[in-house]
Amino acid sequence: MINLYDLHSEKNYSLTSFINLELIWNSGIAFGLLSFDNSTYYNFITLIIIVITLVIFYMMINSFGIQKYGFMMIFGGSIGNIFDRLVYSSVPDFIDIHFNNFHWFIFNVADIFITLGLFILIYFELFNNKIHD
């Protein structure tokens, strides 16, 4: 998407009646929360994200079965977003899902993997607790 934008200077491409590709730069965390112009805050948040990602890596290494796949998806998505934060000083979000005038938050592929990984872990916890209760 970044290369497409660089080639055509176009920030919005309509794929279907409900999906656009629109490049925005997210300097915060999920859904643009905690976006600051101050580099000290940005660096601090990036450091916290790196520490959380290392904890997720540890949990991934020590997990088994379907739970391991959930952690792997979260870890992979997080590494992708960390790379963007370090290289571009912001995360490029570009998937815009909408219905009429309602637009969901614009997100990227890494966010999809993080979300799917979280759903897998929640699903695992719900079934794991029911089996042992």
44 vs 64: CA distance, rounded Å = 32
More reliable by pLDDT, 128 or 7 = 128
Please, how many CA atoms are within 13 Å of residue 22, restricted to the half-sphere of its CB? 13
φ and ψ of 17, to 5 deg: -75, -10
pLDDT in tens, 92-112: 999 999 998 888 888 999 999
Q: pLDDT band at 74, cuts 50/70/90?
A: very high
Please confirm, yes or no, whether 84 is among the known catalytic residues: no
Which pTM does this prediction carry?
A: 0.83
Determine the 3-state secondary structure of 123 from DSSP.
Answer: helix
Number of neighbouring beta carbons within 10 Å of residue 17:
9
Out of 37, 84, 111, 133, which one is annotated catalytic?
Answer: 111
Q: Where are the domains of the chain?
A: 21-132
Flag whether pLDDT at 117 surpasses 60: yes
Out of 6, 37, 84, 93, which one is annotated catalytic?
Answer: 93
Please confirm, yes or no, whether 111 is among the known catalytic residues: yes
Q: Which is it for strands 91-99 and 102-103: parallel, antiparallel or unpaired?
A: antiparallel
Number of neighbouring beta carbons within 10 Å of residue 71:
20
Flag whether pLDDT at 132 surpasses 60: no
pLDDT in tens, 9-32: 666 778 888 898 888 888 776 655
Q: Which is it for strands 19-26 and 12-14: parallel, antiparallel or unpaired?
A: antiparallel
Look over the chain and give the mean of its residue pLDDT values, rounded to a whole number.
85
